[in-house]
Structure formats: C-alpha cells, structure tokens
Amino acid sequence: MKAGVLKETFPGERRVALVPGNVVQLEKAGFEIWVEQGAGDSAGYPDESYTNAGARIAQRENLRDIDVLLQVRSLGANPEHGLTDLDLLSPGGYVVGTCDPLGNPAAIEQVAGLGLNQFSLELIPRITRAQSMDVLSSMATIAGYRAVLLAASELPRIFPLLMTASGTLAAARVFIIGAGVAGLQAIATARRLGAIVQAYDLRPACREQVESLGAKFVELELEADESEDKGGYAKQMGEEFYQLQRELMAEVVAESDVVITTAAIPGRPSPLLVTADAVGRMEPGGVIVDLAAERGGNCELSEPDQRVVREGVVILGPTNLPSEIPYHASQMFSANITRFLLHLAENGAIELNMDDEIIAETLVAHGGDIPHVRIREILDLPALPESPGKEEEVPAEESGPEEDDRDPPAAEDPDDDPGKEV
C-alpha cells in the first residue's frame, strides 16, 4: 500500500506529517512511502534524508496513485487548499491527519462525497493505549513552551530574580489559565526561566499537577464538578458560571506581568475569561498570550494572529505555534501518525475494525457516509441504523476506567495532554 506525504498547502504551515526517522518502521509494516519533493524542507528534513531512509521522492503530479495520504492539515483544517490535495486520491483512498471535524463538519461531508475514508487525529480517544497517537497533546506541548518564549520576548522585564551590584531585580509574575497539556508545559517553561508562577483550572484534580511543577494553584470559589466530560475533555459551562469566574479571576490577572490562557473547548467558541476591564487593570508592559484565539479567544481583546496593544498591555493571539518550531513539532506529529498507522494496518493493508475504540472514534468519513455519531449530530443527520443482531454498546465516551488515565508532563520531560483543552 502506497502512502504519500505532501508539502503542506495551508498558509504558513511549516510542519511535515512524516519525518525520515519513521519511514523504516512503516516500510517494514508493508507501506511504500512516497514523499513530495521538498515536503520536509521547511521543517528541516531535506529530500536526501528521506531517500536515505528508503522513501521515494516525486513531484506532486506523480503521486496520484497513492492509497493513503498523510497530512498535518487535511481538508477541514485546511479549508482553502485542502480539496486540491484530495485530487491525488481515488475513491476508497484514505486520508489521515487533522481535519477540524467538530469545527468544520461540512468539510467532512465533502470528503465523504468523494468516496474517501478520512481519519481525524484530533479525535484520538483519551485512553492509555492511545497516548502514543495523541497529536493534540503533542502539539499542545509545543504551544505551551512557545507561548512562554513569546511572552518573554515581549515583556520589558526579565523572568528570573536577579541580585546584582546594581540592585535586586524582581522575578516576573506569570499566571497560567488552564492546566491541560499546554498549560502544564507553560508552567514548567516559565518556572525554568525563573518566574513566579500561578495557575488556575476548573478541575480541582489539577492542583497536584500544578504544584508538582513548582507553581501555586489559584483557588476560586466556584462549583466546577461538571467541568470535564467522561473522555477528559473540557465541557462548556453556563454564562452565569463564566461571569463569576471572570470577576474572581480579574484580581489575579491585575497583579500579573504575563497571562497565558489555554482554555479551549473542541468544536465550540472559546470561553471568555479575561475581559477588557481586567486587561486595563494590568500594569503597562504586561503581556497576554491567548492560545485559544483561533475560536474567539479567552481574552476579550485578542485577535487571531495579531499583536494588539491596549493601555500598554500587549495581547498576542497565535493560532499555530507548533509551526514555529517545525523540526520537533514534525518529529512528534510523525511519531503519533506512525503509531496510528501501525495500529490501523496489518501487513500494509488497512483493517477497519469498528469494535476498536481508536478506529471507531477517529473514522469520520467512510463508504460515502459519515459514521461518526457526534459529527452526524452536529450536521443534523439521522442516526445510522444498527447492524442486525448487534447488541447495544456503551458509547466510547461513557466507557471507561482507562480513560483520562495519562500521567501529566514532568517539568523536565513533558509528555502532553490538547487541547482538548489546550
């Protein structure tokens, strides 16, 4: 079975879906790897490194007979150019990558209409045996790290406490909102730079993780027992809840030099957590990095991929930080997608075992239809008929003692959790 790796067509995307280090694994499993000329250049992986690993290099037009397309951003996550990429596949072909199925479900209908099979890596279930395939967690690790570096470059202060002959320089005060993978990585990075770090999360269970990284856990007088679903994803709360949360959080924001927000809900607008009034209470020179800016942002003043300055406070709204560190982001993504393919295929042939939770939860287009229950609900499609004689099963998100069973990233060797809440 031929697997093709394209040069990403999404504007500004520098990552590549497969790095040379994983080619041998897939070839041993029966895949024949074809790579578009120059696909890895922007990530630091030249064509020669792929050929040395056993891959074939070809021009895009010569990749039309591939069976599996491996992408960082497939149609849905790449709305402008993603459809052109799919022209390389024939009906029955497979697309494996991120495709924003909950945010852009109409794109999934397009893929299904082409007779293609599409796997969404954003929907990897949070179970122990799927940890190595979790691209959202991997990319959240990169984003959390990079967010702190962006803040440090904008802040007119240094992060660590310094005692010099010229006097003592106070450490920067950093507030992290959201203790998912990105938040935990941001905490670890800010602490390594010497900042005084506080963090807040709706989930009380995050306290131990936050404190283990050397940060102070901020407690707000809120009832948040229902803030997390069975799959470990952040849930949307009511507006009354968020209003109270904003009011209580404003005091912590006001006393911070840097605020990094990471609260994202898959397929829904990001909750507003930092108001314009709260921004106005920060000292001039303060910095906010809003990692949820792509879906409206956690900060009222943030704009996607823009640098906004209000009352002396800089607000950044980056939407693709992993692409700014493409070498290691590609390495992590490639490891995830390789593990997924090895799980999916037997002797180079893809086996669709729908009793496998990993396959069932990630397959969003198949046989000209959309088998994924959640996406069908978003699109207001009728429920699929049950197979004759099939016993009623507990939905994946309701099953499990093994769900959300992953260890948090360590301060020096982070592993990641995306963002699901970012």
Q: What is the pLDDT of residue 179?
A: 95
Q: Is 27 exposed, middle or buried (0-12, 13-18, 19+ CB in 10 A)?
A: middle
Rounded distance between C-alpha atoms, residue 302 and residue 156, angstroms: 20
Q: What is the pLDDT of residue 348?
A: 77
Residue 126 catalytic? Answer: yes
Mark whether 243 and 329 lie in a shared domain: no
Question: Is residue 419 included in any domain, yes or no?
Answer: no
Residue 233 catalytic? Answer: yes
Residue ending a domain, among 274, 308, 324, is 324
Mark whether 96 and 154 lie in a shared domain: no
Mark whether 227 and 342 lie in a shared domain: no
- The two three-digit tokens of residue 113, written as one number: 């209409």
H-assigned helices in 7-103: 23-28, 47-53, 82-86
Mark whether 181 and 259 lie in a shared domain: yes
- Identified catalytic residue from 120, 131, 245, 323: 131
Q: What is the pLDDT of residue 16?
A: 98
Question: Is residue 194 included in any domain, yes or no?
Answer: yes
Mark whether 303 and 201 lie in a shared domain: yes
Question: Is residue 161 included in any domain, yes or no?
Answer: yes
| Chain segment 162-184, per-residue pLDDT in tens | 999 999 999 999 999 999 999 99
Mark whether 30 and 69 lie in a shared domain: yes
Mark whether 112 and 171 lie in a shared domain: no
Instruction: Decide if pLDDT at 388 tops 80.
Output: no
Span 219-245, average pLDDT? 68
Mark whether 301 and 360 lie in a shared domain: no
Rounded distance between C-alpha atoms, residue 363 and residue 370, angstroms: 8
- Identified catalytic residue from 85, 198, 233, 330: 233
Domain residue limits at 34 = 2-133+325-398
Residue 137 catalytic? Answer: yes
Mark whether 309 and 367 lie in a shared domain: no
The vertex-397 CA angle with 395 and 399, nearest 5°, equals 70
- Domain count of the fold of the chain: 2
DSSP designation for 196: E
Span 303-318, average pLDDT? 97
Rounded distance between C-alpha atoms, residue 171 and residue 185, angstroms: 19
- Identified catalytic residue from 137, 245, 270, 302: 137
Instruction: Decide if pLDDT at 410 tops 90.
Output: no
Question: Is residue 261 included in any domain, yes or no?
Answer: yes
Question: Is residue 293 included in any domain, yes or no?
Answer: yes
Instruction: Decide if pLDDT at 408 tops 60.
Output: no
Of 107-121, 125-139, 257-271, 366-380, least confident by mean pLDDT is 257-271
Rounded distance between C-alpha atoms, residue 69 and residue 67, angstroms: 7
Residue ending a domain, among 306, 324, 342, is 324
Mark whether 154 and 295 lie in a shared domain: yes
Mark whether 92 and 194 lie in a shared domain: no
- The two three-digit tokens of residue 169, written as one number: 């320089």
Q: What is the pLDDT of residue 239?
A: 78
Mean pLDDT, the chain, whole residue set: 89
Mark whether 252 and 347 lie in a shared domain: no
Q: Give 350 or 242, the one with higher predicted confidence.
A: 350
Instruction: Decide if pLDDT at 331 tops 90.
Output: yes
Residue ending a domain, among 291, 324, 357, is 324
Question: Is residue 406 included in any domain, yes or no?
Answer: no
Rounded distance between C-alpha atoms, residue 46 and residue 3, angstroms: 18
Q: Give 190 or 269, the one with higher predicted confidence.
A: 190
- Identified catalytic residue from 126, 146, 339, 374: 126
pLDDT band at 422 (very low <50, low <70, confident <90, very high): low
| Chain segment 282-302, per-residue pLDDT in tens | 999 999 999 999 999 999 999
Question: Is residue 421 included in any domain, yes or no?
Answer: no
pLDDT band at 389 (very low <50, low <70, confident <90, very high): very low
Span 339-352, average pLDDT? 90
Residues 302, 315 contacting (CB under 8 angstroms): yes
CATH code, domain carrying 357? 3.40.50.720
Strands (E), 124-208: 162-164, 167-169, 173-177, 196-200
Question: Is residue 411 included in any domain, yes or no?
Answer: no
Q: Give 96 or 347, the one with higher predicted confidence.
A: 96
